[in-house]
Amino acid sequence: MDSSSGTLPEFDYLFKLLLIGDSGVGKSSLLLSFTYDTFEDLSPTIGVDFKVKHVTVGEKKLKLAIWDTAGQERFRTLTSSYYRGAQGVIMVYDVTRRETFTNLSDIWAKEFNLYSTNQDCIKMLVGNIVDKDSERVVSKKEGIDFGREYGCLFIECSAKTRVNVEQCFDELVLKILETPSLLAEGSAVVKRNIFKQKPPESNASTSSCC
């Protein structure tokens, strides 16, 4: 997949992607790694952050609107509305912190089922921070099993070393492109402009780690 972060004048499809998961699992670092090819240790997101990435798959030009949500409970009522219209949701946990994995089923999968408006929305499960493999407490098999149970794609990656970061988004986007209902929605989504839904001005340019 060829990509660039610059503004391109045209695109064939506009896809809305959402990052969810506990605070501190590296959601914002993953997004930064993917959109700008850099890594930063970031402070927690306040509310919602937003970035755009242009990619080309085959002959199709795609515009990805990627929403990075805060993991803290106090922001849940705010972030719940951002599930609306998403074609892809990335559920992130930290392989070195078991509670972040447990909360996927206890909190995040339930929230997805409650707020997602698209029954064909593609889910990607991401085990992050594999660069600290010596501190790992969640096995890869557990991630695979969770993915099978909840119907998610699954990958392990590291925002810090960029291992599998590109592949994570590539696989998600390719799956969306293979799903007729999401493809149709992506081409028509320009008409209703998902960019009307913007984060609060004070947070619009905030970058963070979770």
Distance CA 31, CA 39 (A): 9
Of 100, 27, 103, 11, the residue nearest 62 (C-alpha)? 11
Q: Which helix (H) or strand (E) holds 123?
A: strand 122-128
User: What sign has the CA pseudo-torsion 72, 78, 81, 86?
Assistant: negative
Beta partners for 153? 124
Query: pLDDT digit string (tens) for 66-92?
Result: 998 765 554 455 556 788 889 999 999
What would the two tokens of residue 167 be? Answer: 């592949």
At residue 28, the pLDDT reads 86
Tokens of 15: 């896809």
Alpha carbons 51 and 27: distance in angstroms, whole number: 12
pLDDT digits (tens, 9 = 90+) for 166-181: 999 999 999 999 999 9
Predicted confidence at residue 70, as pLDDT, reads 66
Question: Could you tell me the pTM of the whole model?
Answer: 0.80
Q: What is the DSSP string of 62-90?
A: EEEEEEEE--SGGGHHHHGGGGTT-SEEE
Query: Band of the pLDDT at 188, cuts 50, 70, 90?
Result: low
In one-letter notation, the amino acid at residue 83 is Y
The predicted-structure confidence for 110-150, as pLDDT tens digits, reads as follows 989 998 988 899 999 999 999 999 999 999 999 999 999 99
pLDDT at 46: 46
* DSSP reduced 3-state for 25: coil
**In the predicted structure, residue 164 carries a pLDDT above the cut 80:** yes
CB atoms within 10 A of CB 118: 18
For 25-81, the pLDDT digits (tens) are 999 889 988 887 654 554 444 446 778 899 999 888 999 999 987 655 544 555 567
Taking 50 as the threshold, does the pLDDT of residue 205 lie above it? no
Of 153, 96, 103, 143, give the one whose Cα is nearest residue 123. 153
Query: What are the φ/ψ torsions at residue 118 (nearest 5 degrees)?
Result: -120, 110
Nearest to 123 by CA among 167, 155, 96: 155
pLDDT at residue 201 in the model: 46
